[in-house]
Each structure stands twice: as structure tokens, then as C-alpha cells.
Structure 1
Amino acid sequence: MQCSYFDAGRCRSCTLMGQDYGIQLADKQAHCRDVLADFPMAWSEPVRSAESGFRNKAKMVVGGTVAAPTLGILDRAGHGVDLSDCGLYPVNLAATFAPLAAFITRAGLEPYDVPGRRGQLKYVIVTASPDGELMVRFVVRTAELLRRIRAELPWLREQLPTLAVVSANIHPEHKAVLEGSEEIVLTEQESLPMRVNGFGLHLRPRSFFQTNTAVAAALYRQATQWLDQIAPESVWDLYCGVGGFALHAAGPGRSVIGVETSSEAIASARRSAAEASVTEVEFVVGDAGKFAFGSAASTRDVPDLVIVNPPRRGIGPELAGWLESSGVRSVLYSSCRAESLARDLAAMPSLRPRRARLLDMFPQTDHYEVLVELRRD
């Protein structure tokens, strides 16, 4: 894939841009195997991604002026760089950028000027579902803009007929974080169904979902295949998010509990389970570690298998220690950072890695996902 923004030095976010994709994939597999060299296991062929047009979400920094807004990133001086023609986005997602820029002008939404610390609109975040529906989030400093956004929403919905969910996130602080803690949904529909392998996974504005839908679907299929071969009767899905792994794992004769700190994500997971008529799964709001070794787990039997899909920092020594001593027979560990995975594996010597598969969620960068199956000796 070639990118004019990269070639011109305007954006260097994709550090591997211009490199042959086969070489990218081989280098990622080699890096992952090298980091995990202390843990011999069988490796499957990596899961490839489309080289371009694979992202289901665009997190666009708003810069420029009300009359001429930019959607993209900021340069080193804090000024907007428009990336509306970025090749990472599929056609239906890229088609939203021009109407959204026009909406900013129509509604008089002043872009936030980072160097000057003035203005209101910080980000526009757009998510496209596999069915073509859209969710748009406006990240603003104060709720003062809500009246203007609401007033122009009918126009925006005319321009984007598949627009299903619109929300405003209130982020008053001058900090290098994407969003604040308050989210105000401005449409009747509150969640975006992300149809994956036949499940409609409901994504609310602040819920996490993998940015590569096709590879996420492959990840769930691979986990399901290994689960069916192991045939556990009970499963815990820790860090369950909107319930992707848990819903794929559930079935006749197998009970599943999904645990996630986000009450919004759990509400989405419960709705998805109800719509799919999956009755063998229970979703619980809570911290993964506290659920495992705290009071929430004291009245429950230890499951046959645990799925963990933690953030980049990994599961950490406490949860790894609990898994090591718990008697859990099998673990499926989905990791987005091999270095933290290696630390966690070292803390669970009785749970031996048996097989692994790399999934390329993020072409043009050195990031990837890896799924590892562990079984107790």
C-alpha cells in the first residue's frame, strides 16, 4: 500500500507504510516467536488482513477553523492535518468525512486549538458496522455545543442516511486523552450492532471493539474452534468487553460467565445475548482480578477454562498468580502485546502454551494480536 500522506511526510502513524505486506506479516510472526521463544508451542499460519480499507473506526482530531475544519491529526506545532483521504478507511467510512466537515461549519462548532487552549470541538469519532450503519461521537469541552449539534442533526441524517447513533462526549480537560467520563446520547438508538459470525454485538459509544472487524471475526472463530476441541463445561471470559468471546463460547452443555468493568459494555453484552437467544451465558460488572480471587468468586466453582483478553499491559502478577494456583485446566489468552504476554506466561509455569496463532489486526504498523492456548501439566 502506498500513501501520499506518508510519502509527503504529513503523517507517519503507519510506520511500515510502503513495505511489502508479505514481509510485514513475516516480520511480525518472527518478532512474536522471538519474544515468546522461552515457551515452545505449535504455531499456525498467521491470519492476514486486507492491506487497506480495513478499519471500522476513525478517530479524527478536529483542527483548522469553523469555516475550514480539518479531520485527521495534529502536527508537531499542534495544527490540524487533514487526512480525509486516508486509505485505511473503507469507502462507506471515508464518505462520512466531507459531510461531517460541512456539519461542523453549519453548526458553528469551533475546533479546539491545542496551543491556544481555546475552542470546543476536539474529536469526531466515526464507527461503521458491517451492515453499513454509522455511529458518530463528538468530543467537546462543554455541553454548550449540544444545542447546536441537536439543531443540525436532521441535516446530518439527510446527508448520512445510515447514521444510527450520535452522541456527545464531554471532555473539559486539556489532557492528551481521547475522551471524558460523561457521554450524552443524542439519538433514540443507543448502540450500533456489529454483526460478527452471526452475532449482533451491540457497541455503545464508550465500549471497546476491535478496529478490524474481519480479523476480529477470525479471532473469535479460532478461539471457538480450540474451545470445541478442549470441550470445557464451564468458561469464564475475563475482560469480556461487549461479549464477543463469551457469546461464541456459549452453547448447550457449557456455561459461560463474562466479566467486565464497564457497565455500558455489560449492558450491550446482555442485549446481544438476549437477541441471539443465548441462555447459557451470564454477564457480570466487575474487575477481572477481583472476580477471580475475591468475594465474587468465593461461591462459584473454578471453571474448566478461562479466556483473557486484557489491555496492552497484560493480566499482571496477581491474576496470573491466581490462574497458576487455581486448578483451571485451560486458558485462552488473546494478547495485543507479546512482551506483556511473555511476562504473564512466565508467572504461570504450570499452564503450558500448546499452540498459538498471530492475527494481523493492524497492517502497516508493527502491532498485532496473538491467541495462545495454555493447558495445565
Structure 2
Amino acid sequence: MDKSILCNYFNSKKCSSCHLLPNSIEEIKNQKILSLNEIFSLEVSQGLIIRDMIETPKAFHSRAKAKFSVGGTSNDPIIGITNKNLMITELEECPLHFEIINNLLPTIKNLIKTHRITPYDIKSKSGELKGLIIKSNSEQDQLILRFILKSKKHLEDIKSFMLTIQEKFNYIKIISVNIQPIPHQILEGEEEIILTKKNTITEKYENIELVFGPTSFSQVTPYIAHKLYKKVAEIISTNNCQGLLDLFCGVGGFSIIASEHIKWGIGVEISDQAIQYAKQASEINHIEKLTFLSGDVESFLESYNENKPDVIICNPPRRGLNNNICDHLKTISPNMILYSSCNPITLQRDLEYLSDIFIIEELIPFDMFPLTKHMEVLAILKKKH
């Protein structure tokens, strides 16, 4: 069945972000599995098992996080995506997003008009409002709304309508302003100004709650994120792992959810704020066996001389690990490495570098980014004997 009939933006060629949309769900899954087999062709020829894709029951309205560019004028703002001509294409009813995200956009447009907030123009580098970032939890009862501004010129305007929008949409728990003064491809700047009293939301994973703030990294498809965390916890339990290191741990999702199966764990993350949220979640869930440290992963591993972990979890950015980090993993030599990656190419590179000490038992792909070529892949590595 041709799923493209369900998306007017794709059919009208306004948006091609979901570039696999003309294919059926089964065809899309097969294409992703095929691409993994091609990237890991050598390893597959040597016996690597690639499991079936873990899928979401529905692709549409599955995405909990949306990033929008804002263009046009204060009288006629456009909320959407930046096209190849550096113009903004309207995208207010993207069928991938949670509906509560799309429902906000008409009201935000009206407030932009009423308060004459000038959208940013990429070509002339003029204007103020560059974009919006909206994130919901999976229950869709807590939402973060972030305005990306070039400067603080319209900060008071946003403060003035903050209560109005929260009264209309009571699930908006956090409103913040991010200042990005640089005409840069990176949407977010370093300064985040939280305007609401509340500065965190929570995400439930069965009996566990995780804590997120405006700038926290979070997986875009909660259903698949739940499956990924659960699979890692199951593997740790099945292999009777007692101690773990959680590298690039973010807000601590992997180690907190797996904590009932271990005796001790250490999470490491460069972001001080993410570590603060990980510690908050540990307190909320009454977990005392985990320690969370803020710092550079490579520096941490270089000086690590404590208990040897049974398992190391790695969840690095798209660029993957570097050889120094991989060398430290070899030196520590845990029984198992669980490596979660959104970039199969850098994953293959890193696993090849580790292959003298570890064998890749299997890859499990997760459809974290439905209708696109992208996916999350969990690699299970065991130490060679």
C-alpha cells in the first residue's frame, strides 16, 4: 500500500524529509535491513546476525519532538522547515508529530502577529525569531515549548503571552527562550532562559520515571525508546551483569532502567545539567546503587581504576567513538559492550576497531525514525576468550 497518500506535504513536494514514504511499511523495513547488511557485509559474511527491525505500531503521530524554522513576516509568519533555497516551507500539520504539537502552532502564529515578533530571515540575517523546539512526554500530558531568538529583543513579549498560552494548553509545563546570535546552521545557542517556575518534565517507563529539561537529549520516538531501554535491561539481566559503566549517559535512561538487575553502576556525561537530571531521577525512583559523574568520557576512562564492570553501555553522538576511547574499552575489557548508535557507518567503523578483543554477536535495529532511512542500532559485543 502506498503510504504517501496520507501526507499532503510529501505529495505536493513541499517536504521530502520522509524520503522513503512512497514505499509500503514492509518495503521501508526491508530497505533499512538491506542497508545494514551492506554496511556490515564483511561481518555478516563472518556470521554476524542482524535481527528483525523493532517497529512502532504506527509511524504517524509517533514523534514526540519537533524542530521548526520560523520565517515570513510578523504579519504573516510561516512555521515549517528550511528548504534548499533557504526559504521556509510551511509544515504546521506534519503527520509524524504528536497532534498536541501541531495543535499549538496556530495559536503561536497568532501570538507572533499580535506581538509583532519579527521572524528571522536567513538570507538577509535580519529579524529575531529563528525557530521553535517542542517536546512532549509519551503520555502527552507534559510539554516543553522553546523559542529560538537571535537576541533578547522580544524576550519581554514572550513573557507577556506566556500565561495566555499555558492557560489555553495546560499541558505546556515549561516555556523557555534560547538565544542563538550566530547566523549558523546549528539551531540552538548556549544561553537558555527558562521563563516558567517548572524546569523539568518526567517520562514514565513502566515503573521508572526519567527527568528531562529543555536542552536534554531525548529520543524522538518514545515507543521505540521504551523498547530500546527495555531490551538493554533484558540483556543485562540475562547475562547476570553485576556492574556497569554507562558512557554518554545523558539523563541516565539506560542505567536507571537497568538498575534493578545490577549491583552498581556509573554514568558519565559531559553535560552538567543532564547529570543533574539523572541524579534527580535516581532520587525519585529511590535508586542508590548508581553514581552519575559530569565530565569528558575519554578523560574518565583514561583515569578509571575502580571495579571492573561486567558491561559497558555506549550511546555516543552520531560521530561515534574515537580510537582513544576504543583503546580504553579494550583495556578495561568488560565481558560485554552494548553500543547504541544512530549512525550505522560510524558504528561499523568503531566495531571493526574493537574486533581484535570483542566479537559482535548481533545487531538489533530499532525504527526510531519512521519513514526515513535513519535508524537506531543496538550492537551486542562479547569479549573473545
Matches of 1:30 and 1:19, distance apart in 2:
15
Contact map agreement 1:134 1:192 (CA 8 A) in 2: yes
Structure 1 residue 111 corresponds to structure 2 residue 115: no
Whether 2:192 is the aligned partner of 1:186: answer no
Instruction: After TM superposition, give the deviation of residue 95 of structure 1 in Å.
Output: 0.9
Query: Structure 1 residues 373, 127: closer, same or farther in 2, change over 3 A?
Result: same
Counterpart AA for 1:62:
V
CA distance, structure 2, for counterparts of residue 287 and residue 328 of structure 1: 20
Secondary structure of residue in 2 paired with 1:272: helix
How far residue 146 of structure 1 moved from its aligned partner, in angstroms, is: 1.3
Question: Cα distance, 1:332 vs. partner?
Answer: 0.4
Q: Does 1:89 align with 2:93?
A: no
Asked if 1:321 is matched to 2:327, the reply is: yes
- Partner in structure 1 of residue 31 of structure 2: 27
CA distance in 2, matches of 1:301, 1:38: 35
How far 1:78 sits from its partner (Å)? 2.5
> Cα deviation per residue 1:259-280 (whole Å; 9 max; x = unaligned)?
1001111111111111011111
- 1:203-352 correspondence to structure 2 within 5 Å: 203-251=212-260, 253-294=262-303, 297-298=304-305, 300-349=306-355, 350-352=357-359
Aligned: 1:78 with 2:82: no
Q: Secondary structure at the match of 1:328?
A: coil
Partner of 2:168: 159
Give the structure-1-normalised TM-score: 0.96
Amino acid corresponding to residue 358 of structure 2 in structure 1: L
Alignment-mate amino acid for residue 317 of structure 1: N
Q: Is the 8 A contact 1:139 1:171 kept in 2?
A: yes
Deviation readout 1:291-330 (Å, 9 max, x if unpaired): 1113xx13x1231110001111111211111112322111
On the 8 A contact 1:53/1:90 being kept in 2, the answer is: yes
Deviation at 1:252, TM superposition (A): 6.2
Q: Select 1:170's aligned residue among 179, 189, 195.
A: 179
**In the alignment, which residue of structure 2 is the partner of 1:8?**
12
Other-structure match for 1:45: 52
SS in 1 for 2:119: coil
* Cα offset, 1:253, TM superposition: 4.9
Name the structure 2 match of 1:124.
132
* 2:128 partner letter: Q
Q: Please say if 1:147 is aligned against 2:151.
A: no
Distance 1:104 1:208 in 2: 27
Check conservation: 1:72, 1:83, Cα contact below 8 A. Answer: yes
Match of 2:21 among 11, 17, 32: 17
Moved more, 85-94 or 269-278: 85-94
2:368 paired residue number: 361
* Superimposed CA distance per residue, residues 72-107 of structure 1 (whole angstroms, 9 cap, x where no aligned partner): 112333222110111111222211111111222223
Find the aligned partners of 1:208 and 1:225 in 2 and give their Cα distance: 23
**Distance in 1 between residues matched to 2:101 and 2:380, nearest whole Å:** 35
The range that moved more, 318-327 or 122-131, is: 318-327
Native 8 Å contact 1:190 1:204 kept in 2? yes
Fraction of identical pairs, as percent: 28
Change beyond 3 A, Cα 1:285–1:86: same
- Relative to the length of structure 2, the TM-score reads 0.94
Is 1:64 equivalent to 2:79 in the alignment?
no
**Local SS of the residue matching 2:53:** coil
Matching residue's letter, 1:31: S
Q: Verify the 8 A CA contact 1:353 1:375 in the aligned structure 2.
A: yes
Give the direction of change, closer, same or farther, for the CA distance of 1:336–1:75 in structure 2 (3 Å limit).
closer
Cα distance change on mapping 1:44 and 1:197 into 2, 3 Å: farther
Alignment partner of 2:173: what SS?
Answer: strand
| Cα RMSD for the two superposed structures | 1.3
Assess if the C-alpha contact under 8 Å between 2:236 and 2:261 holds in 1: no
Structure 1 residue matching 2:41: 3-state secondary structure? coil
- Report the CA distance between 1:356 and its aligned residue: 2.1
The one-letter code of the counterpart of 1:140 is L
